[in-house]
Structure formats: C-alpha cells, structure tokens
Homo-oligomer: A and B are copies of this chain.
C-alpha cells in the first residue's frame, strides 16, 4: 500500500526535509519541558484586546471585503499604507512594489519559485535561516557560503567567493540574524552593496527582526542604503534589493501575514506565482493589520515587545555566565529573538540535545542544520523570546548541568 504511493512521488520530494525545529516542538509539549528551540514570540505581548476590537470594527464596517475573495497582490489600502510608511526622504516605494504574503516564509517560496532553476547557486551567510534552506530545497539550488563573525557576514571574503560561480541572488538577514543574533555592521553593508552592485547580483534582504532592537543604534537596511527612487530606478544598483518583512514578530504569527518589496516587474511575477498557490492571503487578517497600522498602533506596541525581549536576553546572558562551563562562547545580540552558542571544538550539539531532552527536558536547535554546505556541529541556537525569565534561568541551569557533564566526560576521555 505504502509502495503504491512511494513510486509516484516527484523527484523534488527527495529534497524535502521535515525541519529539526518541527520535530522538537512535538517533544517539548510536556509541561515540564523548557524549550529554547522554536522562534516563538512571547504570547503575553499578543495584543488580544486590540485585535478583538478591530475585528468587530471590520465585521461591522467592511464585512464583505474581509470575507470575500480578494486580489492576489493583497488588500490595496494595506499595500498603500506599507509603501507610504516604508518610504522616506531617501527612498520612494509605491503600491506596485508591494505584495502581501502568507507570512514572509511564503515570500521566500515565491521568490525561489520565480528565480531558482535546479543547480542554480544561491549565495548565503553560513549559518543562515534554516527555514529558508527548507523553502529553497525543492527548487534544487546549490550554495556558495560566506562565514560570519561578530560583525555579520565576512564581506572581505565575498569577492573571492564569486570568482568561480555566479549566484542567482544573495540571501541575507542583516539584523539580529536567525540563527546567530548577529547584526551586519554599517561598513560591511556598504562594502557588500559595492560588491554585489559591481557583480550585478540581486539581494534578498530578509528583515523580520529589525524593529525588535533593544540595545545599540538602528542601522539603515540594505533597501534604505540603495534607496532613492526605488519604484522607477533606472541605473546603478537601485531597485535590485528585494526586501522581505512580516507582521509575525510585531503582531502575531498566527495571522500569517508578511510582505515583500520588489521592483514592479518582479512583483507581477510573484503575483502570478502566488495565484497558483493560494490565490491570496486571508482578507480578514489583512484588514486587521491594516486597521492597526492605520491607527499607529505599532508605535505604542513594539516598545513593549522590545522591553520584554531585552529583559529575557539579559536573563539568558546572566544565566549562561553562571551555569555554562568555560570554553563555551555565545553572541550578545542587540535585538531579535536568538543567540548562538559555540561549544568547545569536537563537541556535537545534536548529541547534547538528545541528552538534554532525556535528562533535563530542555530543547534548543543544533547548529548544523543552519549550514547550507555542512559544518557547525559544535554550534546551537537558543531563543530567548518565548520562555519567562524564571524558566529561562531554570532551563539554562538544567542545560548547563548536561553540558558540564559532557565536558567532564570529554576531558576524562582525553
């Protein structure tokens, strides 16, 4: 019976993988478990009352628009407002530069769908967002990877990496990167733009976390930096950055709302691709985001999220200092939801995970899966956004115990 189906799957199915995060989320359903694995926002800052109020307003005043089929590119007033709010003195974005997607994850899928042929190269940081690798996989790309350090991707290695193969695009998360929590410095942003401009390489700038900065100074996005008149750019590198964004981290992921900014010609291809996948993103949910955006709700709301994540990051950093053995290193992100641990060389974080789950019911994501071309076995990602401060401290203590034991065993063996 199973065989009946197995011989019928398409080739690309072999490339699909269930994400490590997903499997972990199942294990951590136990109430005693503490998970630093999933990139889940803190539910205590979901604006429940506010969403309840605007849904009533929408159903009273715009029920047909909220419940009927809508245009594939998205609810026009929402697209207009996003275009307006993203535009500024140095950047002009029009409604034709914006498509609403079912989460920015769908933006990635649609972009891969319109750009990636089998064996095309994608240029990425390593480590990079595992979810993007999963989206790209069925389109069968290969990867050129650049390592990163505390200042983000090592742009000094970029040109060398481009000598042999020309990528379809570069995929990068410049702010509080998933998984590392690192931010690309302004100098490197400029350096990166200079190189991709010279080589004619489009950049997919995935920017879900930039508004969640709780320390340090905000940096201009790659989109801002190339800016000027995005919508009618004729020359130079203007209009060659495609920018992905989301309401998942500033409102609620359960609404599945994101948006992609791209040149109008690219948007029209994305619209064709989206029409063949889900027709359009929930009208109801788009109207919710529109009402909140229009009221200026986010200006009051986002500071609450920042404050919460700042506190949780501080608790996690302090607990790491207290409970993690010498020889372990971690990043100090100025925003976002993640930090990145590097274990002593030769240690395997997948093994650590198994033991941590068994002995202490603590979960995280092993770092290997974030490396498109392999490596990173001694790295791991911790999310500090979802657990309460008490549970963060408790979980890091428990994880520290398992890790301490492993380090001691390694020493004995050596």
Residues of A bordering B, CB below 8 Å: 1-2, 4-6, 8-13, 16-19, 22, 25, 38, 40-41, 43, 46, 48-49, 51-52, 55-56, 59-60, 63-72, 101-103, 105-106, 109, 113-117, 120, 131, 134-135, 137-139, 168-169, 200, 202, 233-235, 239-240, 248, 252-256, 263, 265-266, 269, 271-273, 275-285
B59 to A51, Cβ gap below 8 A? yes
Q: B residues within 8 A CB of A117?
A: 10-12
Among B1, B52, B255, the residue within 8 A (CB) of A56 is B52
Q: How far does the Cβ of A269 sit from chain B's closest Cβ, in whole Å?
A: 6
Bound complex: CA of A212 vs CA of B363, how far in Å?
Answer: 48
Bound complex: CA of A102 vs CA of B101, how far in Å?
Answer: 12
Bound complex: CA of A172 vs CA of B53, how far in Å?
Answer: 43
B67 to A43, Cβ gap below 8 A? yes
Q: B residues within 8 A CB of A278?
A: 101-103, 105-106, 109, 256, 278
A114 to B69, Cβ gap below 8 A? no
Among A16, A60, A137, the one with the most B-chain Cβ atoms within 10 Å of its Cβ is A16
Q: B residues within 8 A CB of A18?
A: 271-272, 275
Q: B residues within 8 A CB of A40?
A: 68-69
Q: Kindly report which residue of chain B lies nearest to residue A9, judged by CB atoms.
A: B114
A16 to B272, Cβ gap below 8 A? yes
A13 to B114, Cβ gap below 8 A? yes
B1 to A69, Cβ gap below 8 A? no
Q: Kindly report which residue of chain B lies nearest to residue A107, judged by CB atoms.
A: B278
Among A11, A43, A59, the one with the most B-chain Cβ atoms within 10 Å of its Cβ is A59
Bound complex: CA of A51 vs CA of B55, how far in Å?
Answer: 10
Q: B residues within 8 A CB of A69?
A: 38, 40, 248, 253-254
Q: How far does the Cβ of A56 sit from chain B's closest Cβ, in whole Å?
A: 6
Among A55, A105, A169, A256, the one with the most B-chain Cβ atoms within 10 Å of its Cβ is A256
Q: B residues within 8 A CB of A46?
A: 63-64, 67-68
Given contacts A1-B233, A278-B109, contact A67 B48 (CB under 8 A): yes
Q: How far does the Cβ of A271 sit from chain B's closest Cβ, in whole Å?
A: 7
Q: B residues within 8 A CB of A240?
A: 4
Bound complex: CA of A52 vs CA of B62, how far in Å?
Answer: 12
A277 to B56, Cβ gap below 8 A? no
Q: Kindly report which residue of chain B lies nearest to residue A269, judged by CB atoms.
A: B13
Among B71, B109, B168, the residue within 8 A (CB) of A8 is B168
A272 to B17, Cβ gap below 8 A? yes
Q: B residues within 8 A CB of A63?
A: 43, 46, 48
Bound complex: CA of A355 vs CA of B336, how far in Å?
Answer: 56
A22 to B134, Cβ gap below 8 A? no
Bound complex: CA of A1 vs CA of B263, how far in Å?
Answer: 10
